[in-house]
Structure 1
Amino acid sequence: MATLRLVPMTGEQYDRYRQQAEVRYARNIADSGDMPLPEAREKSRRDHERLLPDGLDTPGHQLWTAYDGDADVGMLWLHVEPKSDGPHAFVYDFEVRQDVRRQGHGRAIIEAVEEWCRERGVVSIGLSVFGFNLAARRLYEQVGFETTAIRMRKYL
């Protein structure tokens, strides 16, 4: 694998991403059993509008396209927020293209984001992962993320 680079999304990339992200997030919410798809679609739309009111220009948010050489292999959306003990980051979205998964790109993207955060004195990086996404959970655990909360449900 060539050296992975994170490059700020262009406006065109962001427009495509935003449309796909809202659909994907809604599907994940519904697949998790948290709510039916119609409500999940509305939640996804509202969440994206609230979190990125100015799109790429929303303060504190970084949206990158990940490249392996010249090939676009994925993306990551990071928010950095100042807190009393220093800046903390949260990954709102992270994806490796389906056709290039399991080739080390996910790990490389995380390592690149960690380096970006270290250079800026970020204290910690958090993220959420849907319970059914076992592959992502394994990757996050392998690179050192720790579980901080677990939500559970029992259907009747």
Structure 2
Amino acid sequence: MVTVRLEPMTDAQYLRYRERAEDDYAANIAASGAMALPEARRKAGEDCARLLPDGLRTEGHHLWTAYDRDDEVGVLWLHVERRSDGLHAFGYDFEVRPELRRRGYGRAIAEAAEQVCREWGAVSIGLSVFGFNTGARALYEKLGYEVTAVQMRKRL
């Protein structure tokens, strides 16, 4: 069984991550068919700027690098907020380095996220996943995540 250690992301790691995350998000938006790549790039940049206006120091947002021993294997980005029924977390990114995928790191990062949320007293953790990402969807379902909304579209 794979385990990971979460360490707060450094400023240098964040700069590398932010650029990669925007590119990946834009590519996923375009791959989903929601919009063409130029518009997806603009949306990705706007969304990241809105969500992380102060980068690593944005209130309520927590970004970690996941390690297996001394090797960086992935990234975790959580947002937490208090609602009337308690603290809720949302995972904006659970990322595993591409060459390390399908080795258990995704599960390990998701389980580490759950542990952090339990320690904080969170009552739930949510996430979004693109419909075409069947591997991630299958993993999240195995981990007990439930579908709360479905967005559908028909190509004409």
Q: TM-score range by the shorter chain?
A: over 0.9
Name the SS for the 1:123 alignment partner: strand
- Paired residue type of 2:126: G
**How far apart, CA to CA, are the structure 2 residues paired with 1:130 and 1:11?**
28
**How far apart, CA to CA, are the structure 2 residues paired with 1:16 and 1:83?**
32
Name the SS for the 1:118 alignment partner: helix
- Aligned partner of 1:80 in structure 2 is 80
- Aligned partner of 1:54 in structure 2 is 54
- Paired residue type of 2:106: G
2:63 is the counterpart of 1:63: yes
Matched-pair identity in %: 67
Deviations 1:70-108 (A, max 9, x none): 111100110001100001000111111111111111111
Contact 1:2 1:69 in 2 (8 A): no
Contact 2:3 2:105 in 1 (8 A): no
Contact 1:73 1:97 in 2 (8 A): yes
Contact 2:61 2:77 in 1 (8 A): yes
4+ long deviations beyond 2 Å: none
Q: How does 1:1-156 map to 2 (within 5 A)?
A: 3-156=3-156
Normalised by the length of structure 1, the TM-score is 0.97
**How far apart, CA to CA, are the structure 1 residues paired with 2:32 and 2:87?**
30
**How far apart, CA to CA, are the structure 2 residues paired with 1:124 and 1:59?**
19
- Paired residue type of 2:154: K
**How far apart, CA to CA, are the structure 1 residues paired with 2:120 and 2:92?**
19
Deviations 1:24-43 (A, max 9, x none): 10010000000111111110
RMSD: 0.9
Aligned length: 156
**How far apart, CA to CA, are the structure 1 residues paired with 2:89 and 2:10?**
22
**How far apart, CA to CA, are the structure 2 residues paired with 1:2 and 1:25?**
26
Contact 2:80 2:88 in 1 (8 A): yes
- Paired residue type of 1:98: P
Which range moves more in the overlay, 34-43 or 94-103? 94-103
Kindly state the Cα deviation for residue 3 of structure 1 after the two structures are TM-superposed: 3.9
Q: What runs of 5+ residues in structure 2 fail to find an aligned partner?
A: none
- Paired residue type of 2:140: Y
